[in-house]
């Protein structure tokens, strides 16, 4: 089992990393992908990936951070090449939920991340919120066969998902699919092709039921895996094998 998106550099995970990893291994996790969101936090990511063979990382600037720092493609590439365990570009993307005042900056940052991921031939981890049309348009415009897309914590519409599938997009289910009111999202995850499915915690955020309201951690991924298996009418062991194989396929060069 693989947690395709977590933030081990955030509290309370970073201060209790040894115990967090022990609990992760106890539920059968074999890999964790810890995600970079700021340039200043990248040193923490590099330190964390050195702590245990199961931990891998990424480099990227979250769309909320682009107003503070617009990174260039060449710098993204340089940062990724600093460590062989940095295997993805992101978290990048578009988020217009609160306002559109930095829309142009987000789009420029996203473009730079797309080009870096394409040049590096590694997956692009995308955050998209209230920006389905803009996200699709920029990915469509930049489509190349070696552009590998991971829609992290996917909460978009079914149409959005199915439009992205031909662009070589994968979709990661978070604890949100366990929430009682997430019926539309649950229906969407029934329709995504099975070879495009991944699971994640986004910990320490978005704890799944029955731990909603608590700080999330990678070991809680078992609840998301069970829910996704139920939605897909699959045995949970099969779902775990499927999503593990999909992760390894996506992140293989």
Q: Per-10-residue mean pLDDT for the chain, 253 residues long?
A: 98 97 98 97 97 98 92 97 97 87 91 97 96 96 93 97 97 97 97 98 97 96 98 97 98 84
pLDDT at 102: 85
C-alpha span between 89 and 71 (Å, rounded) = 12
pLDDT at 145: 85
pLDDT at 101: 67
Nearest partner of 150 among 88, 192, 194, judged by Cα: 88
pLDDT at 253: 67
Nearest partner of 27 among 225, 248, 238, 251, judged by Cα: 225
- DSSP H helices in the chain: 17-26, 42-49, 73-80, 103-120, 132-141, 158-164, 183-191, 221-231, 236-250
Domains along the sequence of the chain with CATH: 2-250 (3.20.20.140)
C-alpha span between 213 and 192 (Å, rounded) = 28
pTM of the model: 0.96
pLDDT at 100: 67
Nearest partner of 103 among 59, 64, 150, judged by Cα: 64
Orientation of helix 221-231 relative to helix 236-250, angle to 10°: 110
């Amino acid at each position: 089992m693989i947690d395709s998106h977590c933030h081990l550099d955030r509290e309370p995970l970073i201060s209790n990393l040894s115990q967090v990893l022990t609990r992760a291994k106890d539920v059968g996790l074999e890999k964790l992908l810890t995600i970079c969101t700021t340039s200043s936090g990248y040193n923490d990511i590099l330190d964390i990936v050195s702590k245990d063979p199961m931990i891998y990382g990424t480099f990227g600037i979250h769309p909320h951070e682009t107003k503070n720092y617009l990174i260039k493609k060449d710098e993204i590439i340089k940062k990724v090449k600093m460590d062989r365990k940095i295997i993805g570009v992101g978290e990048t993307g578009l988020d217009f939920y609160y306002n559109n005042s930095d829309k142009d900056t987000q789009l420029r940052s996203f473009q730079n991340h797309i080009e870096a991921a394409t040049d590096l031939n590694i997956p692009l981890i995308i955050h998209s919120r209230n920006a389905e049309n803009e996200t699709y348009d920029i990915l469509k415009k930049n489509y190349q066969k070696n552009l590998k897309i991971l829609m992290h914590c996917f909460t978009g519409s079914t149409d959005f998902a199915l439009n992205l599938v031909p662009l070589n997009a994968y979709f990661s289910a978070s604890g949100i699919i366990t929430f009682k009111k997430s019926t539309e999202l649950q229906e969407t995850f029934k329709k995504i092709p099975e070879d495009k499915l991944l699971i994640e915690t986004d910990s320490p955020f978005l704890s799944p039921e029955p731990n909603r309201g608590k700080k999330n951690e990678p070991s809680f991924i078992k609840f998301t895996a069970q829910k996704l298996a139920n939605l897909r009418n699959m045995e949970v062991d099969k779902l775990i094998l499927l999503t593990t194989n999909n992760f390894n396929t996506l992140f293989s060069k």
